[in-house]
Amino acid sequence: MARTKRRHSPAEDGGETRRTILREAHRLFMELGYRAVSTRQIADACGLTQPALYHHFADKQDLYVAMLRDNLDTVQGGLERIVRRDGDIGERLRQVARYLPATRSDMGQMFHDIDHEVGVEARRTLGEAFHHGVVAPIAAIFADGLQRGLLRDPRHGGADPVTATYLLLSMLRYAPAGEDRQTTASNHARHADTVVDVLLHGLAVPNSSHRGEQHDENWKGVDLHDDVIG
């Protein structure tokens, strides 16, 4: 009883500790960012001492790259399942928009860390993995819509598939306010649906060349410096 503290899990054999490290690293890196997470934090979360990490990964960046590649592969699998489904563009995009936040992979955080925190070689590797695993599958949906003539031509007011994808990813990032920042699943789903609807159909009233009659009586006038700005 004096020795054999056995901090967390036995890790009796192949790869289990490594998987634990990758899982905890994913959780911490996505929540706090590469820079803000120390190797000791990760080790603690795994029930290990900090030097033990270096038995499984060469250094902090190597761990980050391995974690992100792993995660991007998983996301790619989920996205390609959705892309292959039949159904109209809107439905498939809604499914994408609901799926991404569920993966707990903060695209904005990934962008920042890939751009700022890793070396040039890892940046190339991860940038490719991101494009291949996330951007390309989603862009395929938009490309499909363009081919079918359902989406506006990129050269006349629309956006090319890759740009459309980045717009979708960007819009998914932030919920309205910092107050009701509940990470409720239903909130995510509602926001996802709103994002896709706005991305596809816009905020403007459809035929609003002539001042639309669509003025809804239930929308009470918003006084700028009270309701909206307050």
Partner DNA sequence: CCTACCGATCGGTAGG
Task: Scan residues 24-53 and list those touching DNA (CB under 7 A).
Answer: 37-41, 47-52
> Of 71, 60, 152, which is closest to residue 105 (Cα–Cα)?
71
**Which of the choices a second copy, DNA, none does residue 85 contact, using the CB cut-off of 5 to 8 A by kind?**
none
* Distances in whole angstroms, Cα of residue 86 to Cα of each of 94, 140, 141: 13, 13, 11
Q: Is 226 exposed, middle or buried (0-12, 13-18, 19+ CB in 10 A)?
A: exposed
> Of 188, 62, 196, 173, which is closest to residue 110 (Cα–Cα)?
173
Looking at 56-64, 93-101, 131-139, 188-196, which segment touches DNA (CB under 7 A)? 56-64
Q: Does 198 bind a second copy (CB under 8 A)?
A: yes
**Collapsed DSSP state (helix, strand, coil) of residue 105:** coil
**Minimum CB–partner distance for residue 179 and DNA (Å):** 28
Could you say which of 9, 16, 19, 32 contacts a second copy (CB under 8 A)?
32
**Minimum CB–partner distance for residue 66 and DNA (Å):** 13
Burial 188-203 (b: 16+ CB within 10 A, else e): beebbeebbeebbeee
**Contact call for residues 65 and 128 (beta carbons, < 8 A):** no
Could you say which of 178, 180, 183, 186 contacts a second copy (CB under 8 A)?
178
Q: Restricting to residues 137-166, which ones interact with a second copy according to CB under 8 A? A: 139-140, 142-143, 145-164, 166
CA distance 172 to 188: 9
**Collapsed DSSP state (helix, strand, coil) of residue 10:** coil
CA distance 201 to 46: 46
Could you say which of 27, 33, 45, 61 contacts DNA (CB under 7 A)?
61
CB of 59 or CB of 88, closer to DNA: 59
Q: Does 214 bind a second copy (CB under 8 A)?
A: yes
Looking at 20-28, 45-53, 59-67, 214-222, which segment touches a second copy (CB under 8 A)? 214-222
Q: Restricting to residues 62-121, which ones interact with a second copy according to CB under 8 A? A: 89, 108-109, 111-112, 115-117
Residue 110-129 contact track with a second copy, rule CB under 8 A, x = bound: -xx--xxx---------x--
CA distance 126 to 12: 31
Looking at 58-66, 119-127, 140-148, 183-191, which segment touches DNA (CB under 7 A)? 58-66
HSE toward the beta carbon, residue 37, CA cutoff 13 A: 24
Q: Does 182 bind a second copy (CB under 8 A)?
A: no
Measured in degrees and rounded to the nearest 5, phi and psi for residue 133 equal -90, -25
Residues lying near DNA in the complex (CB under 7 A) are found at 7, 11, 17, 37-41, 47-52, 54-56, 59-61
